[in-house]
Amino acid sequence: MSTLIAYLFVLLGGAAGALSRFGVQELFRAFTRWPGWVAVFFVNVLGSFLIGLVVAWLQGLIALEHSERLDPLQLYIDTQDADHGLALLAAGFCGAFTTFSSFSLDNHFLAKESRALLLFNMLGSLITCLAAVALGWSVGKAMAG
């Protein structure tokens, strides 16, 4: 995959991802009374699930085609499509949809507010996101067949 195309896909996916995160944050603000860090927590869990699903699915499809010994040109084309999908959806969309900087900034404020909430956000985000990515991975694998 040419580098320029990869950057374009990441850029487009990133723009959509950041906007979706902004949308979720605005929805949380409009419809709930929860503090801002809850929205970031939710976004990170959802994005972790999605990246697990997308990567396992696309990599699984390509691995399957390798094992089926398609003709080389078709395999090359499909691998390229999968790489484009990964750049757009994984590195671009999911990468920008989730955020580590806002998470750290929230932790900075929570540290002032309460130790319990700080620990809840840190450990809770870690455990839930790892569980979400593992769940997404198994769903994606099942989808690839």
Partner 1 sequence: MDLLSKILVIGAGGGFGAAIRHMLAGILEGGLNLPAFAAVMGVNVLGAFLIGFVFLLIETRFRPEGNSRLKDLPVSRDLETLDGWPEGDPTLPAVDVFQAKQSAELYSGFFITGILGGMTTFSLFSLLTLNLVQSGEIAWAVFNAIGTVILGFLATQLGFRFGCRWALNRPNQSDPPE
Q: Which residues are at the interface with partner 1 (CB under 8 A)?
A: 6-7, 10-19, 21-22, 44, 47-48, 50-52, 55, 90-92, 94-105, 107-109, 111-112, 122, 125-126, 129-130, 132-134, 137
- Identify which of residues 10 and 82 has a Cβ nearer to partner 1 in the complex: 10
- Identify which of residues 12 and 75 has a Cβ nearer to partner 1 in the complex: 12
- 130: Cα separation from own chain's centroid: 12
Nearest Cα neighbor of 23 from 35, 31, 33 is: 31
Minimum gap (Å) between residue 13 Cβ and partner 1: 7
- Identify which of residues 63 and 126 has a Cβ nearer to partner 1 in the complex: 126
3-state secondary structure of 62: helix
Instruction: Identify residue 88 by its one-letter amino acid code.
Output: L
Angle of the 36-67 helix axis to the 101-113 helix axis, nearest 10: 150
